[in-house]
Amino acid sequence: MLLRQGTVAKRQMEMELVMLSKRNQRVDWEPFLAGMTLENPTMEYTAKSSIFAQGEPADSVFYLRRGEVKLGVTSEQGREAIVALVGDGEFFGEGCLAGQALRIATATAMIDCTVVRIEKPLMVRMLHEHHGASELFVRRLLGRNLQYEADLVAQLFNSSEKRLARILLQLAHFGKESRAETIVLPISQESLAQMLGLTESQVADFMNKFKELGFIDYSDGGELTVRNGLLSMILHD
């Protein structure tokens, strides 16, 4: 039974990495946004600024024109966890379109961000009137749902080491033509620990191992380079 579960997890991971490569082909939303009458076309957020907070009214959708945003949740006991990272060219806060009354997560700028805030009625009208935009939007949401499904499979069946390798490959946008990608985000070991449900010391141990194996490297400025050899860590039985 355990062997079968491991095989399922491995196949799921292989399929996900292929899909990740396809998802890196970004959709140009600017023509659709240009046709919308927005009261506040763009908003600027500095690193560590809150864009919206858990428990606030969910009355709008956000489009990240530039930057990186993390979505985190806090339990009643005060425990924090990062549930998703959003890159430029992506929407977030779309739960309001499905009847979500309150935000279930907090959105925080990881670096300086340019964000477009779209009121729910305007977003609904745009999706209703522009079938091309609606199709692309639904396709992206389905891709994100598949990502969450893969996250759950990884959480259930993969080791902590493999889950960390997987996160690093995603942050490095695995699937592009180049064989090594540099992560310029200020992603700390604390943040990685929150994403994986590990301690910082566990993350540090795994990162040191990856570096010794030549899968990752750090520059003098602290930038992290991820090499595609890290993929072997995920696919190895």
Residue 22, pLDDT > 50, answer no
88 in a structural domain: yes
Q: For the chain, how many structural domains are there in total?
A: 2
Q: Dump pLDDT digits (tens) for 161-178.
A: 888 888 888 777 765 444
The amino acid at 162? K
* Diameter over CA atoms, the chain: 56
136-170, pLDDT tens digit by residue? 888 888 887 777 777 766 666 678 888 888 888 87
Is 16 inside any structural domain?
Answer: no
CATH number, domain containing residue 220: 1.10.10.10
Sign of CA dihedral 54, 56, 59, 64: negative
Within a domain: residue 79?
A: yes
**Measured distance CA(178)–CA(141) in Å, rounded:** 27
Q: Do 130 and 37 sit in the same domain of this protein?
A: yes
124 in the same domain as 34: yes
> What pLDDT is stored for residue 5 in this prediction?
46
234 vs 57, residue with greater confidence: 57
Alpha helices in 115-188 (DSSP H): 120-129, 131-157, 160-171
CA distance readout (Å), 179 to 18, 182, 228: 15, 10, 6
Q: How many helices (H) and strands (E) does the chain have?
A: 8, 11
In a domain, 20, yes or no: no
- Quote the pLDDT of residue 164: 87
Q: pLDDT band at 8, cuts 50/70/90?
A: very low
Give domain status of residue 44, yes or no.
Answer: yes
Q: Do the domain assignments include residue 116?
A: yes
pLDDT at residue 116 is higher than 90: yes
48 and 127 assigned to the same domain: yes
pLDDT, one tens digit per residue, over 23-80 is 445 667 877 777 676 666 789 999 999 999 999 999 999 999 999 999 999 888 888 8
- Are residues 108 and 214 both part of a single domain? no
43: domain CATH number is: 2.60.120.10
Please, which residues have CB within 8 angstroms of residue 187's CB and are 6 or more apart in sequence?
110, 171, 224
- Establish if 19 belongs to a structural domain: no
- Is residue 55 located within the same domain as residue 111? yes
Tokens standing for residue 13: 């991971």
Q: Which residue has the tokens 């949740």?
A: 73
Instruction: Give the residue numbers spanning the domain of 49.
Output: 30-145
Rounded distance, CA 95 to CA 102, Å? 9
> Is 165 in the same domain as 127?
no
